[in-house]
Amino acid sequence: MQTLHEIAPLRETLREHRMAGRRIALVPTMGNLHEGHLALVDRARQLADVVVATLFVNPLQFGAGEDFGQYPRTLESDRDQLTAHGCDLLFAPSVETLYPRGLATQTQVHVPDVSEGLCGGSRIGHFDGVATVVSLLFHLVQPDIACFGEKDFQQLAVIRKLVADLHFPIEIVGVPIVRAADGLALSSRNGYLTPDQRALAPVLQQTLARCREALSRGQPPSAALHEASQALQEAGFRLDYLELRGQDLSPFELGGDTQAQLLAAVYLGSTRLIDNVAVALPSTGADRRHG
Residues labelled catalytic: 37
**Cα–Cα distance measured from residue 227 to residue 207, given in angstroms and rounded to the nearest whole number:** 9
DSSP 111-133: -TTTTSSTHHHHSTTHHHHHHHH
**Cα–Cα distance measured from residue 25 to residue 7, given in angstroms and rounded to the nearest whole number:** 17
Evaluate whether 145 touches 52 at the Cβ level (below 8 Å): no
Helix axes 7-19, 126-141, angle to 10 degrees: 50
**Cα–Cα distance measured from residue 20 to residue 18, given in angstroms and rounded to the nearest whole number:** 5
Question: Judging by beta carbons within 10 Å of its beta carbon (0-12, 13-18, 19+), is residue 76 exposed, middle or buried?
Answer: exposed
Tell which phi-psi region holds residue 142, choosing left (phi > 0), alpha (psi between -120 and 50) or beta: left
Element holding 27 (H helix, E strand): strand 24-29
Evaluate whether 11 touches 140 at the Cβ level (below 8 Å): yes
- Bridge partner residues of 271 (DSSP): 268
Tell which phi-psi region holds residue 60, choosing left (phi > 0), alpha (psi between -120 and 50) or beta: alpha
